[in-house]
Amino acid sequence: MSRTDLVLLTGWACPGEALTEVVTALGPQVRSTILGLPDMTASPSPAPAAALAEQLERRATPVVLGGWSTGALVVLETALRLPSLVRGLVLLSGTACFCCRDDYAAGTPDANVRALQRGLRRTPAPTLESFFRDAAAPQALAADALQGLVAGALRLDLDQLRAGLDYLRVADVRSRLAEIQAPALLIHGAVDRIVPVAAGEYLARGLCGAKLVILPQAGHLLPYFNADAVAGHMRAFVQDCG
């Protein structure tokens, strides 16, 4: 494997191809592998990080591990499990805790996530359309692009989507951030409506040696609207981790 190998984990409701533009923009200097989120519907369900850690153990070579949104949270949990195989972290729209807590205001209200779960049960396509419009803001998605995102999400299976939301309601690695010693690059949209930029700022304070890049006038869909800018920051970071 090359010394700049990068493994990227996608976000909630997005198949792996959601990261294709970023990988293309990275160019041949970085050898990239895109993974979908681990299965969260198995019973009993293993922790998503356990499934990702198993894949990394099969590789047996340290990598730079990246994730977008939900993927970033799984990546943080994985880095805690397998520090020896994680050379660096790239967190796009990342958070240590997706939902607000009594002592944490940088998240999304739990009521919003429960409303999304209800919407997926009753009217999945319109619910996903609304989610992706919020994720795209301040940009607007063309009708065909919006329908493509919804179709891609529905292909992932509604049970999988609901299980992902269950995970987001409980996942919380805030108390363990200082244990992660790998260097980290955080890239966040300044006007992200899904994961507030305050969540990225919290991560930057909690992780040792983290660099936070805030993209002005960018929202949550960084891989769609900001692929070149994201790839530029990532390329330099991954190569430095080699």
CA–CA distance, 74 with 192 (Å, rounded to integer): 19
Q: Give residue-wise pLDDT tens across range 152-190.
A: 999 999 999 999 999 999 999 999 999 999 999 999 999
CATH number at residue 93: 3.40.50.1820
Confidence of residue 44 (pLDDT cuts 50, 70, 90): low
Contact yes or no for 178/189 (Cβ under 8 A) = no
Q: How many domains does the chain have?
A: 1
Q: What's this model's pTM, rounded to 2 decimal places?
A: 0.96
CA–CA distance, 189 with 213 (Å, rounded to integer): 9
Q: What is the chain's length? A: 242
Domain that holds residue 77: 6-240
**Is 1 inside any structural domain?**
no
What is the pLDDT averaged over residues 124-129? 99
